[in-house]
Structure 1
Amino acid sequence: MATLDIAGRKVSVTNLDKVLFPETGTTKRQVIEYYVAIAPAMLPHLAGRAVTRKRWPNGVEQPSFFEKNLAASAPDWLDRRRMQHSDRVVTYPLFSTAADLAWLAQQASIEAHVPQWRFDGDSPGPATRMVFDLDPGDDVDLAQCAEVACEIRDMIAEIGFTAFPVTSGSKGIHLYVPLEKPPLEKPLTPAGASTVAKRVATLLEERDPSRVTATMAKAKRTGRVFVDWSQNNGKKTTVAPYSMRGRATPTVAAPRSWEELEAPGLTQLRFEDVLERFEEHGDLLADLDPPLPMEDRPDKLSTYRSMRSASRTPEPIPVATGPRGEDDTFVIQEHHARRLHYDFRLEHDGVLVSWAVPKNIPDDPGQNRLAVRTEDHPVEYATFEGSIPKGEYGGGEVSIWDSGSYELEKWREDEVIVVLSGEKAQGRFALVRTKGDQWLMHRMKDQGASRELPKSELPKSELPKSVAPMLATAGDIRDLPDGDWAFEGKWDGFRVVARLSYGEFALASRSGKDLTERFHGLSSLADDLAEHEAVIDGEAVVYGADGNTSFELLQGSSGKNVRFIAFDLLHLDGTSLLKKKYSDRRRLLELLTTGLDSVIVPDTLTGSAEEALAASVERGWEGVVAKRVDSIYQPGRRAHTWIKTKNWRAQEIVIGGWRRGRGRRTGGLGSLLVGVPGPGGLRYLGRVGTGFSDRDLDALAETLEPLETEDSPFVEELPAADRNDAVWVSPTLVGEVRFFEWTDSMHLRHPSWRGLREDKQPADVVLEIDPKA
């Protein structure tokens, strides 16, 4: 069983590649990633509310069930409340952290439902919001629901209320109305909120009974919008804002703007769309829910305390945030945990605001160091040195590397500038947030710094125009002898070769395709290495919410969030390294990139091959690449000195045709006919009909249309069930699929589409089979 470390909590996860949405191929991993990423927006609308879960343990095409009571196996760190029902006592979970939402998704609980009240101690409190559920009857579309939503908005605005729209992710629209703001003089009970909502719905029905009904009976809903007021009842729940829905495709109860409801073309949104919107616009429901009462609201040290136990660690654990000091103390602690890093802390507003700086603070203005924002620490931590027991959070030795005072120049949510006065750390430093908890720490230049040479004065040498990357052979690494091999992670991205020359930058795919513009965000590496010429072999990747690389996210990326993982150095400042040993090339690569945030050089896996494989599985990686430590670099060759093992099966394929869809895919692309190159044409591997999003299907149909041909590109005649209605295409497009296993006839069993491989040509495609299997 693997674990994810989320906000200091270890969340056990299983079956991450299990497909929960067969129509789109969406896996449990993607559902977990969504909930973790959307947590900052979603949690305020769940806080303090009893969460009922709707679970689809075998995917949305199989039966589901509601779960109220929290199982005994639930993790101890989940907050919970016991509530008396008419026939029993139910223990409900309360969600307040991203780890809570990751646990929700791990249970295949695709939907979270909550009431309109928050707990007051252990009892239901007053309603904090009112909800209208606009449910379209037969022959009614979402646009008509939007029209009724606008009418409700205008009606309640006359009595001083504000409404917030949410497309439900199913068929209709939810309207939320905050109740703990004027014009109310006192809180409404759930019964009172239900009465108000029913009155609004009834008035709408009286105004236009041909379009609106407030009657529960389904027979009354045909051709009308049913305004369901009953979900304000204290015993009822509504699917929470930002919750995914258990529909055929992974839609979401998505907050919308009124401008969207008034414009044509309103549709339900999928989870990818919601994440993009949140990143661009923030939470559109930020003004809906009131903050928790002060006694229930976490203070700045709540997260710190939740991750530690006074009985198990010597660290200071005060019961409350301490009194505010002079806000002028800094400390840098050397922390020998699982991996050595340095903790940089600034006293600010009663706590030590903290960052983990893996390679310590920069000592040169030309360096930018990664700094990861961590939980606030108590002021007392500024003098802490000692041993945190193994197994506890941050287990390892802590010592003070430097401390002193600082002068504050700027403190904003995304930028901090300070002047440090310590024994070792002296000078002006800037911390700039780049994304989420990721920051850059920069040492600002002193006045009178030495002049940088212009590019025209830099020495020139001859770089190779292109280098075809060396390839690994598929195989089993478990029997490899200790000491002769190094083990790297196998990353889920595009193989790229970066060519750098004194600030100039070019990026090429494995097949030689120019990817410089596609991954333009990686050009910062050229700026960081502006005094060098180099050729670096690596991978363009996008990291998901779980910290792992995701090919699916890379395909949909605009390029802004793409990172460069480097794993080999082929040329440096006029010297070819192709004939050097892997171990020497790796050491030079690490030295060249030390302190740079524009490139990632992951540590090699330690221990035996078996231990390396186990570590890769635990971390959720795609697999492992074993490299002989004395191996030279062989451009363009698939050598046995590099061996790759995948933790799940994948196969690159060439598209040779497609079949027309049925059901909801009628008139469009239904499945792909795929193969691998062989003598005389394509060798048939089977039909791929799952894993496509609607966008994938539309894009593929448009791309395949000009490639249509009259003749089959496959060397054998396909089975009748596959060739009937087939449309043949010229075999020029490369894609990738995941699959369960090979059949006896060497066809793909249960393949699922992953995406096109723009970085590869048909000639690059080979069967990914361990020759020993």
Structure 2
Amino acid sequence: MPKLSEYNKKRDFNKTAEPKGTVKKGGKELRFVVQKHAASHLHYDFRLEIDGVLVSWAVPKGPIADTSVKRLAMHVEDHPMDYIDFEGTIPKGEYGGGTVMVWDTGTYLAEGIDNVADSEKVLRKMYKEGNIKIVMNGKKLKGSYHIVQMHGREENSWLLLKGKDEYADKKDFDQTSVLTGRTLEEIGKDKKSDVWESNHDGKTETKNPNKIDLEEVADAVEQLKTDSESKKKTATETETSQTFTAEDVADAKKLDEFPTNWLPQLATLADEVFDNEDWIYETKYDGYRAIIEVNDGDVNLVSRNGISFNDRYKPLVKAFDAITNDVILDGEIVVEDTKGISHFQWLQYYADNPDRGTLKCYVFDILYFNGFDLTSLELVQRKRILEALLPQSDQIIYSGHIKGKGSKALKEVEQKGGEGLIAKKASSKYYINKRSKDWLKIKISKEQEMVIGGFTDPKGSRTAFGSLLLGYYEDGKLIYSGKVGTGFNEESLKDIYEKLTALEQKTSPFSIKPKEPGAHWIKPDLVAQIKYSEWTETNSLRHPVFMGLRTDKDPKDVIKEIAGPLTPEGGNLEAEKTTKKNAVKKADKVKPAKADSDKKPAKETKTKTAEKVIEEKTPAKKAAAKTKSTSKTMKSKAGYDTEKVEVTHPEKIFWPKEGYTKGDVIAYYNEMADYILPYIKDRPESMRRTPDGIVKEGFFQKNVAGMVPDWAQTEKIHSDSTKEDIEYLICNDKETLIYMANLGCIEINPWSSRVGTLDNPDYIIFDLDPNKTTIENLVTTAKKVKEILDSLNIKGYLKTSGGKGLHVFIPIKPKYTYEQSRDFSHIISQAVNAALPDITSLERMPKKREGKVYLDFLQNGKGKTMACAYSLRPREGATASAPLEWDELDDTFDLKNYNIKTLPKRVKEKGDLWEGFFKDALDLEEVLNKLSQ
């Protein structure tokens, strides 16, 4: 309930003119005030009279009249009623120091109540429940407003929203006082204005000159916290901001002058993700690393090799002008499309195309603040300070993090199309201009910086040059690593060619001259960012794709990055400079100490540590020994190895528990190709690659430009979101199917439309996804879908999802849009939900539909994919998406019965249960006409 003890505790009323906190009996009307408060950070204090006090929230961005906007409101201490008309100045250095304006004031009632007495009763209940709905009658704020507590966040985090009524608008409010008509600046300059002084405890404090005085900052953090909308955090489960004081940063070192030569700490490449509560996980951005220096109002953006970015990225220089303190920050400059996906080439050519994408800087660390070196502080402490101080905008964004849950963080980044993670030890210091094992980079797709040592002549219609000749440094020598001829456009070809010819020389810079016909050699001054699939045994990049030039990298620093093994000391990984073969040999030598293996730990932990990850590699080898021998697996290789596809590592374990191998997957698709191909032919493939089997999430690959063999069929499809062409693989034959399986595609994910009619799907999907419910409820839901389809004379084709759910497909003629197919699925799903409201749900949020079957009609969308009929799934048990007969949904039905071993036998007995699927294609318009009758 409202109280003033905290308000009184913070003030010494022998020294301040502020009103003493006493509860006053309410009058004939309920009053409110909104005070604009220019303290260390500008904010608005939103105060409602409840039970004789002003219950208060700090709103960083202020109230709005736009119903589409939400404002963060941080609950602060209650204030006395006498505070309602204060307008004046609180001296700097005192609690809440700054200028205060009465921005708006008036009366209010609880929504739906027309008298004060009943409103007071209802308001007590609303306040207790964290959901206050009121109707305001102020000079600026009028009509319905809601103040709602945010669950799952800090207890004092609320939201302020405008209710829908005749006062809703997108207008901007007048920013002068409703009492005096003055601006904040005019109030601050008025020496006759009220002046209040306060002290936290009434005691005189002797300040330590080596401590940072962060009282203003701490006050701002306490009242403002974090506005999750404006910060656009990069992970869905970031830690909330915490308050801090000068004592928290007592170990910071005071410097005599502003440092101007600090370069960023670098991360070590890791070969896999891990979970550890002592680590935090940030998004790895695809851009330029930058140190941001703000010194006496001057902004300097510095690359990781000391080159200024100011001329190239002037809008960011202007954006960082908002920082009023002297600081050094660490961040990454990117250019993003409308979906938030960064494009390195857009960033590289930003000066030529400033309107292509949005220029941003994600800031993730603070190294210096107003004369103090913060690098000795723990990482999480530095991030708290950064989050409180950083003035955020559409271009400056605080980079959040997930604590402990590396696997979950990587999965979320992958789903968003990101590059990977940076794992950081939470307690680590900042090491200037050093590569540290306290920071680890975990990449989803493999990328490598490469030195350009030459180029070849163009062929065919290509202009400028054919390929770039690449290399890396080892022991001071430039080692040749192959060539790259894809990933260029006309713009980059021309630009790069000019740079190449300016550096041309007669001799090869490589330690061993590559035998490339028509080669031209250059001085090795250029560095390229290359995406690739793997290193070959001949020490070349396989399937390289050019991403862009790196002007922020010294060529001499480019080495071969190989993800090293996890070491037992705290979860770090090593980057090796040797070849992949040597790295593997070295990894095999890393074994837990005998004492550790013989001694059972006192208490098991759920957290995956680095040492545990090493140990987990051993069971896979044991599983291989328990299953069919390598010789047996290799013997079966002859059945699927073709002239077009060279199968590699068929003995690799994909399911450690069952012992199934990569070879088993390839053999399955070889045997099942005739059944699968009808459902994937002429369809773009979104390849979900799991090259390490089910122990890792794997990754999706859509663009195969320059990566697939010449005989493979592909199709370029323009992406409206990225404004670029994506080259998809088309699987029309067994060889391509085996090629995909050899890449680690356990699962086959085709589009719902074919080449030639890509905007028009030829089937509609009903995805029945159980969320902690029973198999009985799943079966009941599927039968209800069939019942409704039967009533419309529509044949529904049933299959298992291969996971926990069921799919019902209906074929349609490819002349309708994805939106129309989705609308139809939605109509049927609504009918199912209306018939089975207790066991089904259309709610998208998983937490709100626990214990129910989710009717996911949104799977019907262009580019969305679903595991096809007979596709294996990277799930425990090697389950598969199996076509079913409807009468198989009985009391004995078990999803696990349909797997890699049972399906080949099943089709021999039953044949293809979906045979004739496309012959039954419906005319959707005729069906919709029936629904409307």
- TM-score of the aligned structures, taking structure 1 as reference length: 0.44
**Larger relative contact order, structure 1 or 2 (CA cutoff 8 Å, min sep 6):** 1
Higher helix share: 2
Q: Which has the larger radius of gyration?
A: 2
- TM-score of the aligned structures, taking structure 2 as reference length: 0.37
Higher strand share: 1
